[in-house]
Amino acid sequence: MTVHTPGTIPTVDPITMEVVQNALGAIADEMALVIMRTAYSTIVRDSMDYSTGICDREGRIVAHGMTMALHLGSFPDAMRILIRDYGDDMHPGDMFVWNDPYEGGGQHLPDVYIVKPVFINDTLEGYATSLVHQIDMGGIAPGSSAVYATEIFQEGLRIPPIRLYDRGVANETFFKLMERNTRIPDKLAGDMRAQIAACRTADTALCELIARHGAAEYRAIVEELHAHAERIMRSEISSLPDGTWSFTDYIDGLGETPEPLPMTIAVTINGSDMTLDWTGSAPQVNAAINCPAPFVKSACHLIVKCIAEEEIPNFEGFIRPLNIIVPEGTIVNPTPPAACAARAIVGWRALDVLLGCFAQIVPDRVPAAGEGGVTFPSFSGYDGEKRFVCTEAWAGSWGAMHDGDGAFGIPNPGGNLTNQPVEMVEALFPLEIMRYGMVENSGGPGKYRGAPAYQREYRFLSEETQMVMRSDRRRFLPYGLNGGCPGTPSWNLKNTGTTSQSAIPVMPMEAVLFKQGETFLHVSGGGGGHGHPLDRAPEAVLEDVREERFTAAYAKDVYGVEISGEPPVIDTVATEILQRNMKNRPLDIEKPAYLCHFHDSFGIKGFRLVGPREMSV
């Protein structure tokens, strides 16, 4: 209970705070379920590439839904712009829509915000917010995410914050305009209607919650929860040592002759304050991987919360101790009209860069690098006379921790996305998935091994299929920690296993065309290892052989564990001799055994390591 008299600020008790906090989280999750159950496109319904949230009357986040984590940190910037433009001109029944990365706090044009102000007795009390990756917003390429776009005007329809509903009346002009500017109008309209339904559901639930406590009491609870989140964050930061640490990782680059693009973070801790400075990151590029600042800020919010020992409530007060510096004109904060449709490759890599830095501060809380984030292809063409766009988001190979192997088949923590079911893809599109699963002899060796790579291969059934995509982690391998080996590289292979097999760049600077019957195989990066491989328990290596993660030859050459027989068993004497010899002889630095075994699986020759985790092909 709370105790107060009229005209005074209520004193909030912790039980009521907990009840309200959980209720707000449940409303945001209910929004997410509404979208999942009513969306039309597979990228939303099956991959769950969307986010939901609740904001207070000042536009500050007070709850996050259960889906895409890297979207959520962009809401503060976006809401500030909405309130700047319409703060004195909002009414019951209004709803707003926008996607502009430069004038709307957006991330890229396919990510569309739909936000509904929540009123009680004509008084604004909060906002129901949603952000959905729309399947196609027009532009130069199907799916609106072409790496090879050079300015935002090529990427689709750019929408500033505008009214979607005015006092309950739909803006039919907007819906007509969208119908004419997308390749897949029924899917886009269906997904936007799902967002609208989610916001309306949240409006009803939030009004009920506020009515239960009273508006004044609810506002006081919210203020205290913001302060509570700030206190926890400051306590977590204060428990870390003061100082400055830095880390640099590299994106492979663009096209057939990629040039490495550095991403650098410096983390400074001073008492209960933390500065995260991206100075030193590459200048913005003439391609679509430039990442608007809200997405990079979101990565910072996520990783700082992940390394905390205590759970931090999803109230915007937790970001108050964080000073995030994103220099303008760089790939982490481009200036218009830079293209940014494929910006997520930078956003995903920001997670690895941050973790590489925090591994120096709290090594027991941080994993080695994973697959490099979500690989994002769009396949498009005609199924008879019907146009199709199939956009996917693939992930699932984590780096190892200090006390355990990397998780396999679990979405990258930045995304919380799902790989689309094979049966669903084949039922809806002229695509046949030939293989999907774990890659044998992949991932970085270590006392604890990185997760294996995953593979997904398509055979194209329509007369011609166009693919635009972005991937990474071929040249710059996922880093290992504490003596663990780097992970294995990613590959994009056309017509695998034939005399015409060829490699496609990690980020092709043009659309890739496939004729009927041709195939495409994506092999993800495998997670980095943790600890020296020869410290891995032989019994754990045996289990990997039994589970067909390793071949017996790989176990022998990489871990020095001799395994034979059926069922497989360890030859203890031979293993002791092997490991003694491996400790005493120099390693093949340029072509380590684990990479040789991995590349043999795909017939790839001519590779070598030219640095601790840099590969040349």
CB-count burial class (<10 Å; 0-12, 13-18, 19+) for 208: exposed
In a domain, 270, yes or no: no
d(CA 420, CA 424): 7
Lowest-pLDDT choice from 67-71, 131-135, 318-322 = 67-71
d(CA 446, CA 402): 10
CB-count burial class (<10 Å; 0-12, 13-18, 19+) for 43: buried
In a domain, 179, yes or no: yes
> Among 521, 536, 551, which residue terminates a domain?
536
User: At 591, is the secondary structure helix, strand, or coil?
Assistant: coil
> Among 506, 536, 566, which residue terminates a domain?
536
d(CA 339, CA 316): 29
Q: How confident is the model at residue 9 (pLDDT cuts 50, 70, 90)?
A: very low
Cis-peptide, bond into residue 142, ω within 30° of zero:
no
In a domain, 125, yes or no: yes
Domain span at residue 411?
367-536
Same-domain status, 225 and 373: no
Question: What are the b/e assignments for 6-32, b being 16+ CB within 10 Å?
Answer: eeeebebeeebbeebbebbbebbbbbb
In a domain, 344, yes or no: no
Q: How many CB atoms lie within 10 A of CB 257?
A: 8
At 7 the pLDDT is 40
What are the φ and ψ backbone dihedral angles of 179, each rounded to 5 degrees? Answer: -60, -30
At 68 the pLDDT is 84
- Sole residue written with tokens 């906090």: 21
d(CA 40, CA 36): 9
pLDDT for 318 beyond 50: yes
614 DSSP 8-state letter: B
The two three-digit tokens of residue 450, written as one number = 């990185």
Average pLDDT, the chain: 94
The whole-number average pLDDT for the span 305-312 is 94
pLDDT, tens only, 32-88: 999 999 999 999 999 999 999 999 999 999 999 988 888 877 889 999 999 999 999
The beta strand positions in 397-494, using DSSP E, are 431-438, 454-460, 464-470, 491-494
d(CA 176, CA 164): 12
pLDDT, tens only, 554-597: 999 999 999 999 999 999 999 999 999 999 887 788 899 999 99
Q: How many CB atoms lie within 10 A of CB 153?
A: 13
The whole-number average pLDDT for the span 10-28 is 90
- Percent of the chain at pLDDT > 90 equals 90
pLDDT, tens only, 367-378: 999 998 899 999
The per-residue DSSP string of 38-71 comes to: H--SHHHHTT--EEEEEEETTS-EEEE-SS-HHH
Q: How many helices (H) and strands (E) does the chain have?
A: 14, 24
Alpha carbons within 13 A on the beta-carbon side of 191: 31
Contacts 24+ apart (CB under 8 A), 176-182: 181/137, 181/138, 181/156, 181/157, 182/134, 182/135, 182/136, 182/137, 182/138
In a domain, 157, yes or no: yes
d(CA 582, CA 338): 51
pLDDT for 3 beyond 90: no
The whole-number average pLDDT for the span 277-303 is 96
In a domain, 296, yes or no: no
At 526 the pLDDT is 98
At 1 the pLDDT is 39
> Among 509, 536, 563, which residue terminates a domain?
536
pLDDT, tens only, 82-127: 999 999 999 999 999 999 999 999 889 999 999 999 999 999 999 9
At 19 the pLDDT is 95
Cis-peptide, bond into residue 337, ω within 30° of zero:
yes
In a domain, 6, yes or no: no
Is residue 1 within 8 Å of residue 13, measured between CB atoms? yes
Residues 6+ apart with CB under 8 A from 244: 266, 267, 268, 269
At 560 the pLDDT is 97
The whole-number average pLDDT for the span 415-436 is 93
Q: How confident is the model at residue 480 (pLDDT cuts 50, 70, 90)?
A: very high
- Length reported for the chain: 617
In a domain, 456, yes or no: yes
Predicted TM-score (pTM) of this structure: 0.95
- Count of the separate structural domains present in the chain: 2
pLDDT, tens only, 146-190: 999 999 999 999 999 999 999 999 999 999 999 999 999 999 999
Residue 547, amino acid: E
